[in-house]
Structure 1
Amino acid sequence: MSQVPGSLPRVSRRRLLGTAAGLAGATVAGSVLAGCTGSGEPAQSPAPGGGASTGAVQWWDHFRPLTSLFTKELFEPYAQAHPGVTVAHREMDAPALGQALQLARRSKQSPDVHSLAGLDGSPAALVGAGWFQPIGDFVDLEGSPIADQLLDGIHRVDGKVYSFPVFSARWHDSSPWLNTAALAEADVDPEQPPPSWDEYRATLRTLREGLSDNVHPLVLPGKEPGYLGGQIERFAMSAGGVGAIDPRTGEYAYASQPYLDAFEFLLSLQRDQLIHPASPSMSPRDARSRWAAGEAAVFAWGPWYIGGLKVQEPEAVDRGIGVWRIPTPEGNPATIYSAPPGGTFWVSAQAELPKLAAEVMFSMLDEEFMKKLAGAMDQPPILDQLVAEADVHPAYRANIANMAEVVRFAPQPQVRNAAVSQALVEMRPVDPDLGAIAQAVLTGATKDYAGALKTLQDSMTKERERAVKAAAGKGAQVSLEDWVFSDWTPGEDFRQ
């Protein structure tokens, strides 16, 4: 999962798609709960310290493109090597998964292991709220290939390891993916990426003039505020921003010029009539389907895009797909900041089979599985050097190579001082957040994005101050100075 350094985003793999799924999502969640746990009894009496040694591990996630890979290359081999063990896998859209997890926890029917998609709050906050249990006693993470990537406040809380990264964090979610057939129709060369914002807009205008009436230059799903917030974050970084919190000062930066420039760039795409008119009603998955059907030439999304297409709309890949780098105001290469890779899967505090759940998770670090994970063309695996040995589409390989060049890890205060996690636990969401502001601006509900950004900045500042005081009042050795990294050099990885 990517996140803005030091901020409190919705935790999920893809900046997450922040709105609930409504009545339909509630129906999905209810049906999942009805069918996933059976009688709710373990297969046999729990063994000391880890639950039963056989039974069905309940596993929920939102990785639809990886469902077949997980089943054939992870769950089935584990079951074959461990007679009496099976894995019951459920995949849901992010908002529906978040609803299902909330309902399951309240009814004490949580799955053994799950991803975080659709849940609000930092992982540290969820640990503090009692969602998870540590896994370090079940598997040897300290002797694993990713031992040096386990960080306090992210994977380790109060000295106990709760999760580990399965995917690399060297990616962003704003690469322009291309329908090369549409570009050919408009006589636009997919091998010549427009480097600047002006050239990007000009290229989209060329597409508008050269495409059929029912094909649009760009699809921009506006139904999910989380998607829009992610695009604004990346645009701001491409304009020289360093994230929601500037590590050099420790202050929130939403009212800074890069964010203002990002909003102006987004609005310019709308003013030029370059965006699919149905975009406001689309989720990212809807937008992908429309793009795959040939209704749009460009869709900005993450490296997992082509993997999803291979599973759901393979004909779109066969038709032709390419990818550009994210443009910048002046055309110089962007620097996009990310947090170090977070935990991907977590064992529930209510898990009936926690040891088995942790062992299935741990088997993902096998090198052969990692190569197959790379071949699925979703997020790059944590052992991202294996992408070079995997069977992947040239556009995916090019995108991952670009991510390695432009994405840099920013400082994380909870890694330097674990007590920061206690302040993060205290922080409450601020509404409207960045994505909701972007949605309001695009729909015309507000024109004063500068004022809204200043209000967001002030509200986040006050909320963090309140949370730090609350944590300190409970004994945490934390202060606002923990967010200041005077030794950080922009454009470089910060070595935690």
Structure 2
Amino acid sequence: MSSPGDLSLSRRALLRLAGIGGSSMLLTACGGFGRSTPANNNSSGAATAPNATTTTSTSSGATTTTAATSGTPAASGSSAVNWNIVDTGAQLPSSQVTLRWMDSGDVKANFFKAFFPAYTTRHPNIQVQYDGTNWNEITQVVTLGFRNGTAPDVFQLPPTITAAQAEANGWIGALDDIVPNWADVKGRFPAGMFAAGVTDFGGKTYGYPFTSNKRINNLLLYNQDHLQQAGYDPSSKPLTWDEFRAACKKCTDQGAGKYYGLIIGIAQSGQLTGFIDTLAEMAGAHGGVIPVGSNGGEFNHLTGQFNFTSDEFVSAVELLLAIKSDGSIFPGSVSLDAPGARGRMPQGLAAMILQGPWNIPIWTTASADFHLGVSLAPQKDPNHIWPLTYGPGGSNTWYYASSTQLGSVVGDMFAYLGTVDGQTAWAHFDPAGDPAAFPEALAKAQLDPLSAKAAKLAADYTRLRPDPSVKNPDVFKVFEAFQQPTPNYNDTLVGLFTGDLQDVKQTMTSLQDRMNAALDDAIKTAQSRGAKVSRDDFVFSDWDPSQDYTSLYRK
């Protein structure tokens, strides 16, 4: 097994970018599990691309973009994208048509608000109604649309519907049937982007994850001015756990009530779990999140057991509680959701937060007085850093409705998004929050320095992990049968933070026992429903956590 200390920040590693998002990475953002989920759409807002579109708001709050309003390349900063939308051979309609595209918006909306007008310039009879909205709206519109045949042509699945369910009910169509030369397009993507039981069913591909999961959702994002005044500079080397605690205290003291050392959006489920997962995994608690319950569970695929009693996890929780006992955490953090917490960073109200790269383009334009810094999360031993892990699939996955009459248009667009040109254009508008899947696209794109650093850290400190549901698709029946114990992982951490629960080791042991028992019960339930599955399906004894586990995802 190679040493974790060999994970250097090399440019060569950046060019290896493939696949994308750590267990702690995905979980932080509201609960992803190496799948495309609402977890990965965390930005509190998005700067729109100039000259891109005419945008209006629907009654539900969705952003509707009509793509026929601009024929000029949309700009981002000082440079513009030269759209190279070539003829794919798709038999496009000749009449006037409007494609409906719905997703969760945020930073990625910047790309679509520029791409759709460019596409309409190339094909003037094809307009696009783009609805970048919230997950409640997606759940309502898509779920109802499946029932009455009014689903958007392209969409992200609601968190209440799995891809397996959508495919089994005939609600989504196969990319093989609409994307010209689909085998060639699919073959351009890195290993782990497509996987049986995740994007593929019955030998065909239904989900299109054209953005990568290889990102770190819990970077240390910090106010340079506050930390420099306190005597700390994590720009070249991450803080140790002891330095992190001391820096939180020093910043709080110098802030004198005007700002605090650390802020966390504890009221949003998944924020504390992601915080702890990141610290523990990088300290050596090998594992990753599996989708059991609303917050998943930090799981060691080497042993097939949950990870909560490891020294790394217990120590990470104790560190958090020590920072709290110092009075270094922003007051009211228990009542803040993730947007509420991160929205206070550009205001200078906190020195540090563990959050994701989607904040970078927003914060760097929010205030000229705010100087953002980006680093790895604090490390128990900076000389022995283990990588975070991520599962198969992308940071976002799009589907098309099987009922669409515009499959050729969808296929034509999807084909473009699977080219180096399309991926490079994506990286131009959404450089680090939802990274482009192609390493060469990231290399070609002119990323801002902080986004480039976030991408480089992700390249060097994330690895593709095994997934039991790819090993045995019947594992999905276990996930469906799983009954989350009470209190769950997130609630346990909140209870420890508030003092309602005492004794970290005992509490985490109790949590681990409950989670293992619940998994055993779910396996028995799945078996009673015909699943051929056992606890052995969750064990990967050949896994080296310092390396990408690619053998499971060979093309």
Q: Tell me the TM-score normalized by structure 2.
A: 0.74
- 1:66-85 to 2 correspondences below 5 Å: 66-72=108-114, 74-85=115-126
Task: Evaluate the alpha carbon distance shift between residue 33 and residue 292 of structure 1 in structure 2; reply closer, same or farther with a 3 A threshold.
Answer: closer
Task: Evaluate the alpha carbon distance shift between residue 430 and residue 158 of structure 1 in structure 2; reply closer, same or farther with a 3 A threshold.
Answer: farther
Q: Distance in 2 between matches of 1:121 and 1:258?
A: 34
- Per-residue deviation at 1:138? 1.0
Determine if contact 1:158/1:418 at 8 Å carries over to the other structure: no
Q: Distance in 2 between matches of 1:228 and 1:125?
A: 30
Q: Does 1:303 align with 2:357?
A: yes
- Per-residue deviation at 1:341? 3.3
Task: Evaluate the alpha carbon distance shift between residue 57 and residue 180 of structure 1 in structure 2; reply closer, same or farther with a 3 A threshold.
Answer: same
Cα deviations by residue, 1:35-81 (Å, 9 ceiling, x for unpaired):
99xxxxxxxxxxxxx99986332222223122232111x22233333
Cα deviations by residue, 1:191-238 (Å, 9 ceiling, x for unpaired):
354432111111222222333531222211112112222222212212
Q: Distance in 2 between matches of 1:105 and 1:431?
A: 33
- 1:21-420 to 2 correspondences below 5 Å: 31=60, 55-72=97-114, 74-94=115-135, 97-98=138-139, 101-102=142-143, 105=146, 109-116=150-157, 119-120=159-160, 123-124=163-164, 127-128=167-168, 132-139=172-179, 140-144=181-185, 145-146=188-189, 148=191, 149-211=193-255, 213-243=257-287, 244-309=298-363, 314-316=365-367, 319-331=370-382, 332-342=384-394, 344-348=397-401, 351=404, 353-376=406-429, 377=431, 378-420=433-475
Determine if contact 1:238/1:327 at 8 Å carries over to the other structure: no
Determine if contact 2:36/2:209 at 8 Å carries over to the other structure: no
Deviates more, 1:330-339 or 1:184-193: 184-193
Number of residue pairs aligned between Structure 1 and Structure 2: 470
Q: Distance in 2 between matches of 1:307 and 1:34?
A: 20
Task: Evaluate the alpha carbon distance shift between residue 35 and residue 411 of structure 1 in structure 2; reply closer, same or farther with a 3 A threshold.
Answer: closer
Q: Distance in 2 between matches of 1:33 and 1:182?
A: 37
Task: Evaluate the alpha carbon distance shift between residue 240 and residue 126 of structure 1 in structure 2; reply closer, same or farther with a 3 A threshold.
Answer: farther
Matched residue type, 2:305:
E
Task: Evaluate the alpha carbon distance shift between residue 298 and residue 128 of structure 1 in structure 2; reply closer, same or farther with a 3 A threshold.
Answer: farther
Report SS of the residue matched to 2:352: strand
Report SS of the residue matched to 2:131: strand
Q: Distance in 1 between matches of 2:269 and 2:346?
A: 22
Q: What is residue 46 of structure 1 aligned with on the other side?
A: none
Q: Tell me the TM-score normalized by structure 1.
A: 0.82
Determine if contact 1:98/1:119 at 8 Å carries over to the other structure: yes
Report SS of the residue matched to 2:536: helix
Determine if contact 2:249/2:323 at 8 Å carries over to the other structure: no
Cα deviations by residue, 1:450-481 (Å, 9 ceiling, x for unpaired):
45544543444344334434444454433321
Matched residue type, 1:380:
P
Report SS of the residue matched to 1:171: coil
Q: What is residue 41 of structure 1 aligned with on the other side?
A: none
- 1:451-470 to 2 correspondences below 5 Å: 451-470=506-525
Determine if contact 2:62/2:132 at 8 Å carries over to the other structure: no
Matched residue type, 1:115:
Q
- Per-residue deviation at 1:323? 0.8
Report SS of the residue matched to 1:68: helix
- Per-residue deviation at 1:422? 4.0
Determine if contact 1:222/1:282 at 8 Å carries over to the other structure: yes
Report SS of the residue matched to 1:287: helix
> Any stretches of 5+ residues in structure 2 without a counterpart?
1-19, 43-56, 66-91, 288-297
Q: Distance in 1 between matches of 2:93 and 2:519?
A: 39
- Per-residue deviation at 1:418? 3.1
Q: What is residue 494 of structure 1 aligned with on the other side?
A: 549
Identical aligned residues as a percent: 24
- Per-residue deviation at 1:176? 0.7
Matched residue type, 1:134:
A
Q: Distance in 1 between matches of 2:509 and 2:542?
A: 27
Determine if contact 1:58/1:89 at 8 Å carries over to the other structure: yes
Task: Evaluate the alpha carbon distance shift between residue 33 and residue 300 of structure 1 in structure 2; reply closer, same or farther with a 3 A threshold.
Answer: closer
Task: Evaluate the alpha carbon distance shift between residue 445 and residue 482 of structure 1 in structure 2; reply closer, same or farther with a 3 A threshold.
Answer: same
Determine if contact 2:62/2:131 at 8 Å carries over to the other structure: no
Cα deviations by residue, 1:243-279 (Å, 9 ceiling, x for unpaired):
2221122222233333222221222221122211132
- Per-residue deviation at 1:482? 1.4
Matched residue type, 1:340:
P
Determine if contact 2:421/2:441 at 8 Å carries over to the other structure: no
Query: 475, 480, 483: which is aligned to 2:535?
Result: 480
Matched residue type, 2:375:
W
Q: What is residue 71 of structure 2 aligned with on the other side?
A: none
- Per-residue deviation at 1:411? 0.8
Q: Distance in 2 between matches of 1:427 and 1:82?
A: 48
Report SS of the residue matched to 2:381: coil
Task: Evaluate the alpha carbon distance shift between residue 319 and residue 241 of structure 1 in structure 2; reply closer, same or farther with a 3 A threshold.
Answer: same
Determine if contact 1:220/1:287 at 8 Å carries over to the other structure: yes
Report SS of the residue matched to 1:345: strand
Q: Distance in 1 between matches of 2:498 and 2:141?
A: 30
- Per-residue deviation at 1:131? 5.5
- Per-residue deviation at 1:83? 4.2
Q: Distance in 1 between matches of 2:314 and 2:160?
A: 26
Report SS of the residue matched to 2:129: strand
